[in-house]
Structure 1
Amino acid sequence: MLARRAANGCGSRGVTVEFVQTIVGPLPPAVYWRRRLALLGILVLVFVVVRACAGGDTSTAGSAKAAKTKHPSAQLGAAGPPHTPLVASPSSSAEPSPSPRPSPKPAAVALPAGGLCTDAEIQLTVATDAPTYHVGAKPKLTMKLSNIGARPCRRDLGAPATELIITSGTAHTWSTDDCEPGGAPAITLLQPRETRTFVIPWSGRRSVAKCAGSRPAAAAGTYRLQARLGTVRSEITVFHLT
């Protein structure tokens, strides 16, 4: 029958129906149909299982890839050293405020070596060669000038800058400036702890400025001796005339 329909040029639908309906075998056709349906069901089940497995692998791989893409910092953290410090990048929109600078402290002014001596670096002392004299005697007066600083310095030791003064109570008795005023400056270099000593005899007579008038002998009494160097003054030394 199949050969005949093909030879007569019948349509493909008729061929298919004719082929399906033709069952070759000793068993009834229903048996063969059940076998075919069972085989078809097994093929469908295998296809579904294979499809499901392939889809699950693809989904798992996609999820893992997405996790890696979304969390690159986790991969970097796992691969990097455990104690690597994280440094935040500065924001381009906010500029860091400058830290306040401390106000500079004024530097102490250091005087150069050989500069002028300050009053604090000068010490004056005076003394007499005896505590008591007779009226008309000529006491020897001593003035000592010392550099008590830690550096060499210079000071004017000329007559205009230095003076020995004797007073009795509040009355002026005598001064080196009375009869020998003026004179040239004498700038002198003084080394640290250096002392200059000046010994000046006193005639025992009174004097006034410019050595004017007569100069009578100083009367018996208590007298006070003091030295001056510029604005620096010594302690007072007391002596007596009898």
Structure 2
Amino acid sequence: MLHPVGPLSSAVYWRRRLLVLALVVAVLGGGGWLVAAAVSGGSGSASAAAPRTGTAADPTDPPALEQVVPSLASVRTPTPPAPAPESPAPEQAEPAPADVPAAPTPGGPCGDDMIALEVRSPGSAAAGGQPTFDLVVTNVSAVPCVRTLDKELQEIVLFDGAGTRLWGSNDCFPEASDDTRTLAPGESVAFPLVWGGRTSEPGCAAERTVLGAGQYVLRGRLDTKASGDAPFAVV
């Protein structure tokens, strides 16, 4: 094979062999390129199918912040409502004046609150004695007033220390009169009454006895006005 034999020159045969060899090499080279392309194509497809690190989003990765939080420029801040106008404070009603008692009318009746009543006594008396007691009416108002001072409206009563009634000025010798007076401011009127030193009951039906020694209390009355207690002793 190295020494071609034929009617042509040896150079022609060498050129034909080189041409055939080049074709073989070209064919072999093309096949190898096809194989390499097939191999590289498969790997490229696999690479394309697989997510590229750092480029494709991993479904387990959290979404980007700008995709979750909207831009502040796109968020509309609600405008706060305008404050309601202040309503004028209600006018404070003036407190109702306290009920003031009406001033007494000059020359009108002397009410119980316009007079003072007290019983005056000598303070003590001997058993069986006849001391004099005074029922005193005083106009304590600032104006003159009129008061009925009839005898039947007057009374002085004596009690023991336990509050038991022992004597009354109207029990046995009641009196009657027609006595209406105008009392000036500060004016006092005294009505004397003599006590016989004995006990009595209303109507004077019970036996009267001499009151024994002891500490007692005198109390006066003018119609509906009552006095305070005045101490009195029988010795």
TM-score normalised by structure 2 residue count: 0.54
d(CA) in 2 for partners of 1:118, 1:203: 32
Alignment match of 1:135 (pick from 115, 127, 131): 127
Query: Is 1:201 aligned with 2:191?
Result: no
Q: Deviation per CA, 1:157-178: give whole Å up to 9, x if none.
A: 1122211111112211111121
Could you say which residue in structure 2 is the equivalent of 1:176? 169
Query: Residue type of the partner of 2:233?
Result: H
Q: Deviation per CA, 1:115-169: give whole Å up to 9, x if none.
A: 111111100121212x332211111112211001011111111122211111112
Change beyond 3 A, Cα 1:189–1:212: same
- How far apart are 1:110 and its partner, in Å? 4.4
d(CA) in 2 for partners of 1:201, 1:181: 12
d(CA) in 1 for partners of 2:191, 2:177: 17
Change beyond 3 A, Cα 1:114–1:146: same
Change beyond 3 A, Cα 1:206–1:108: closer
Alignment match of 1:167 (pick from 154, 159, 170): 159
d(CA) in 1 for partners of 2:100, 2:142: 19
Query: Is 1:146 aligned with 2:170?
Result: no
- How far apart are 1:200 and its partner, in Å? 1.2
Could you say which residue in structure 1 is the equivalent of 2:180? 187
Query: Is 1:234 aligned with 2:195?
Result: no
TM-score normalised by structure 1 residue count: 0.52
Alignment match of 1:211 (pick from 196, 204, 208): 204
d(CA) in 1 for partners of 2:233, 2:220: 18
Q: Any conservation in 2 of the 1:160–1:185 contact (CA below 8 Å)?
A: no
Q: Any conservation in 1 of the 2:118–2:227 contact (CA below 8 Å)?
A: yes
Query: Residue type of the partner of 2:106?
Result: A
d(CA) in 1 for partners of 2:124, 2:101: 49
- The residue correspondences of 1:23-34 to structure 2 (distance < 5 A) are none
| Residue ranges of structure 1 left out of the alignment (5+ in a row) | 1-101
- The residue correspondences of 1:28-67 to structure 2 (distance < 5 A) are none
- How far apart are 1:241 and its partner, in Å? 1.2
Q: Which has the higher helix share?
A: 1
d(CA) in 1 for partners of 2:194, 2:139: 24
SS at match of 1:197: strand
Larger Rg: 2
Q: Any conservation in 2 of the 1:222–1:240 contact (CA below 8 Å)?
A: yes
